[in-house]
Structure 1
Amino acid sequence: MTSMALAPRTALFLPASNARAIAKARTLACDMVILDLEDAVKPEDKDAARHAAVAAMAEGFGERIAAIRINGADTAEHAADLAAIAGSAAAILVVPKVENAATAARIAAAAGKPILAMIETPAGVLAAPAIAAVPGVAGLIAGTNDLKATLEIPAGAGRAGLSLALQTVVLAARAGGGWALDGVFNALADPEGLAAECAEGRAFGFDGKTLIHPGQIAVAAQAFAPTADEILEARALLEAARGGAERFRDRMIEAMHVEQARAVLERAG
């Protein structure tokens, strides 16, 4: 794992081939921008998108974490993507369909920058702990759409069948000391459904959510931010803590709870 800044609550995917979307991203309140060279780009536009992504990174995205998702290791575009992004100003490289530690290690070494490995297949889930432990891997992203497909979960079945896979991604990321980002929510006109899925993701332990539309940012940011009550509780606990095991508001606390309270306030900014 490579040491990184505070994990993003909101990570927005957008096509590297869409100049208007790239320009708009510089005005959005997301924590991370991921320019996509993979699924969001037509085959005939791959080369132009690659050049556009490198140019966009040179211009920057303000305080937002800037990342590029390349095409997978088994594609014809992979080598060209990797060479171009290695020389770019991108802070992070996002790699789809990582299924083993060797692939993650090779790409991290070639990129010379931290990578986020997408876990999108059964093989990726089973190898997630080894992938997350690779030097240069900053964390994992649950690729929920592909996971549903490769696990043969019916499209309308919800996420119950993904529970083990999602928890494995979080466990692996935490064991490796990295970020854990939840997968995308496909329904663009369902903010209640998005909020519910974000709440579920936070309950699993994810740091934040990957998104596919600017309209999803505010809902996800709120869901993954500490609540007012959590902030007040954390402040009170830190003020009361004197070290060792002790009583606080009719419960026992120790050093672990102090660290959790500090993390809440760090996330709250």
Structure 2
Amino acid sequence: MVSLETLRAPLFVPADRPDRFAKAAASGACAVVLDLEDAVAVEAKDAARAALACDFTDLPVLVRVNPAATPWHTADVEAAAALPFAAVMLPKAECPDAVAEVAQRAGRPILPLIESARGLAAAREIAACANVPRLAFGSIDFCADIGCEHLRDTLRSVRLELVIASRLAGIAAPIDGVTTDLSDPEITEDDSRHARSLGMSGKLCIHPRQIAPIRIGFAPTAAERDWAARVLASGDGAVAVDGAMVDEPVRLRARAILANAG
């Protein structure tokens, strides 16, 4: 069973399309996220909630509820509590107390989506909440909230802050937001490598064709594996490998690379 801490490429599926649930589970995704929020039109919210299910797969099934400020939120959380979901994904997470309240009401782990300036300001407190195994980044909504462009350089410090918040709280590294461009799998792979370079360890996906590129992007390259093997074969103390000094912090990095190579 895949744990919430190691989810690499969870796949969103509109919760009002139960005909797609099993297909999503068979796509190679590590988990399925039934989406009650952005993927569902207002007039279909109630039908989507009624269609929720977990019995179509052995993979972890998560549910993304509607935000607390919406009229569907309470019913969504009640529905999440009634089924054996692996976790509840909470959009527009901005307040640690609100996150804790949803966790208590749903009786499930919470994956808070950091999607606003307020959410970012509270990210360290949210990450430290009980029953929060991981943060996720809602990069599109975040850019809309602060009025910036959805560019790597613009969002670099935000991604780093989520990594730092997670590390300080002792939880798994965060999940990056979606890549909206589906035209070329190399775009998704490149975005994944960028997120990995900053310390993130997974990426939300919106189409099955993104799963393989995400897995590739977060996996160590052959050159990285070879380097790590040489570093760990170099012995103890301070030595030179490929003309560069190697000591224990470098070996820690090498061990992490090989641990993620499996």
Q: Normalising by the residue count of structure 1, what TM-score does the alignment of the two structures yield?
A: 0.87
Q: Distance in 2 between matches of 1:223 and 1:247?
A: 30
Q: CA deviation at 1:48?
A: 2.3
In structure 1, distance between residues paired with 2:235 and 2:78? 51
Question: Which deviates more, 140-149 or 64-73?
Answer: 64-73
Number of the residue aligned with 2:166 = 173
Contact 2:112–2:136 under 8 Å retained in 1: yes
- Give the match for residue 230 of structure 1: 224
Distance 1:260 1:88 in 2: 40
Residue identity over aligned pairs, in percent, reads 37
The equivalent residue for 1:139 is 134
Amino acid paired to 1:16: A
1:31-50 residue pairs with structure 2 within 5 A? 31-50=30-49
| Residue of 193, 196, 200 corresponding to 2:190 | 196
Distance 1:51 1:43, change over 3 A: same
Structure 2, unmatched stretches of 5+, are: none
**1:77 and 2:72 correspond:** yes
Matched position secondary structure for 1:86 = helix
- Secondary structure of the corresponding residue to residue 10 of structure 2: strand
Q: Report how far residue 144 of structure 1 moved.
A: 0.7
Aligned to 1:164: 157
Match of 1:25 in 2: 24
The total of aligned residue pairs comes to: 258
Q: Aligned AA for 1:160?
A: D
Aligned counterparts of 2:106 and 2:130: Cα–Cα separation in 1 = 12
Contact preservation (8 Å) 2:196, 2:218? yes
Hey, what's the Cα distance between the residues in 2 that align with 1:91 and 1:260? 31
**Structure 2 residue identity aligned to 1:27:** A
- Gaps in structure 1 of 5+ consecutive residues: none
Contact 2:5 2:133 in 1 (8 A): no
Q: Which amino acid aligns with 1:149?
A: A
In 2, distance between residues paired with 1:90 and 1:260? 34
- Give the aligned residue type for 2:126: I
Structure 1 counterpart of 2:115, which letter? E
Match for 2:7: what amino acid? P
Distance 1:239 1:6 in 2: 29
Please identify which structure carries the higher strand content: 1
TM-score by length of 2: 0.90
Matching residue within 83, 99, 103 for 1:88: 83
